Structure 1
């Protein structure tokens, strides 16, 4: 991707840390979406990884000041996210999982309109800012095209351009690569990586690959609880010598599950490849395998790594 300066983003000296302390949230229907969540999120790319319904979007909406927690504190630098919403919104960029656009509007015009709403009233400065954003998001050549003709990835990149208006210190992106084709996904992740060099970017996703490729720190969340908070490379290293694999037939899975701690199972050439968590060789037919972040994720989800939680058999297809 062509590189451009980003004068509208904060410099390194003004970067702030996001601190989430003992946050809980229960909806009126009785569903507890968050259970005593605590995280310290430094500048850079931070991955929040978990399945659908894990509580990711609830936490993102609270951070974006669209909902309030039942208890706990959230601070962005010196700002109280719950009690200083207007100040937080002035330094926040948010790309939700789903957002609407005016299909007949041209990208250049609509971004200019959003810039006015963000308080960029000086026309020359606004023109400079929107041009820089369109170039950074690789939309400059299509800036006069109607948004209804944009591909899914182009719409996502336009959403990032809107989110970057107003010098955000924190950028939140919720499930940003869902539905993108491989080429668009790569372009979009490259953009987020660039932004992460100058601010705090929280990437909320259920895709392990997104976190593995981008994030220097991550947390795994399920049923509203943080199961693991770590640096991805360190978490993978901690599993060295504990992941084993075996190729088997599907009818044999229930018996294997009774004997071993299976963390994942997937079809491979008509058979089933299982990964097992074990401190020592689990027996005949198994061979050691170099762990990756997917093994970290499934081990944490199964309760064998990080904070102990009940085993989730459906995660391994049993």
Structure 2
């Protein structure tokens, strides 16, 4: 199973260019789509999920033309949008049964088996009869992935699934995503770098509706190996000096002091310590270069 996105563009009525000639090749397994808010991730996810039309371009799911054969795509699609609605007074088991019928699982025995299996897989079996309005944020997200897995889809899209979850629920949800079979295309759209680092053998970074980087996280890390340096700064003036003279990637607080991270081909000088690069460095470096190119 493969998903090919070829030259997709989308401009909204207010003039916002959400996607600009964007192309990606996505194979089986988990694919991470990283980008800041407003990067075009949700627009791309809705387009792949047949919920909106692009202005131009093509999308192929194996030999299915996604933009021309929407019903065929929907039969093999599982979708967990950033925000999804439920009937709050319904229980999880009743809601899943209802959604299973809507997905075309009309055989009562098959439907019962699928619903029960998904409730167990998402660790919701013990609360299957509880009203969805009483679910925590993490439980609602696990219910969301349960409904997305109905019908054994071969293409699954999850949009910002861990935003707002506490660390324990985030870990439960990521473990659940990682258990999904390898014969499935799973697109994980997020602005949380750690989600992609933990789950995805391939990834892309997008911003301004364009692909900035595509490949394996390990390849991206190899490209910055030995080029990340860290320094503690003690004043705004020193911070401004570093930003002016070096390729500063990010800044954060550590032990009550500001730590800056810079990219440099050779040692930047006194006070800088070489550190291992991580995926956040790759992410912020690409976003900074994108912003610099726009300026």
TM, length-normalised to structure 2 = 0.97
Contiguous gaps of at least 5 residues in structure 2: none
Q: 1:290 aligns with which of 234, 251, 276?
A: 276
Pair 1:177-2:158 in alignment? no
Q: Secondary structure at the match of 1:93?
A: strand
Q: 1:222 aligns with which of 207, 210, 221?
A: 207
Q: Is the 8 A contact 1:75 1:81 kept in 2?
A: yes
Provide the C-alpha distance between the structure 1 equivalents of 2:13 and 2:181, rounded to a whole number of angstroms.
36
Pair 1:136-2:121 in alignment? yes
Pair 1:38-2:23 in alignment? yes
Pair 1:258-2:239 in alignment? no
Pair 1:63-2:48 in alignment? yes
Pair 1:20-2:5 in alignment? yes
Q: Secondary structure at the match of 2:153?
A: coil
> Displacement, 1:148?
1.1
1:24-103 to 2 correspondences below 5 Å: 24-103=9-88
Pair 1:310-2:295 in alignment? no
> Displacement, 1:230?
1.2
Aligned residue number for residue 176 of structure 2 = 191
Provide the C-alpha distance between the structure 2 equivalents of 1:268 and 1:127, rounded to a whole number of angstroms.
52
Aligned residue number for residue 10 of structure 1 = none
Q: Is the 8 A contact 1:45 1:196 kept in 2?
A: no
Aligned residue number for residue 266 of structure 2 = 280
> Displacement, 1:135?
1.0
Single out whichever of 48-57 and 142-151 deviates more from structure 2.
Answer: 142-151
Provide the C-alpha distance between the structure 1 equivalents of 2:161 and 2:293, rounded to a whole number of angstroms.
26
Q: CA RMSD in A?
A: 1.3
> Displacement, 1:312?
8.8
Deviations, residues 43-85 of structure 1 (Å, cap 9, x unaligned): 0000000100000000000001001111111001111111101
Aligned residue number for residue 269 of structure 1 = 255
Aligned residue number for residue 9 of structure 1 = none
Q: Secondary structure at the match of 1:131?
A: helix
Provide the C-alpha distance between the structure 2 equivalents of 1:19 and 1:49, rounded to a whole number of angstroms.
18
Q: 2:222 aligns with which of 231, 237, 243?
A: 237
Q: Secondary structure at the match of 2:113?
A: helix
TM, length-normalised to structure 1 = 0.90
Pair 1:202-2:187 in alignment? yes
Q: Secondary structure at the match of 2:179?
A: helix
Q: Secondary structure at the match of 1:233?
A: helix
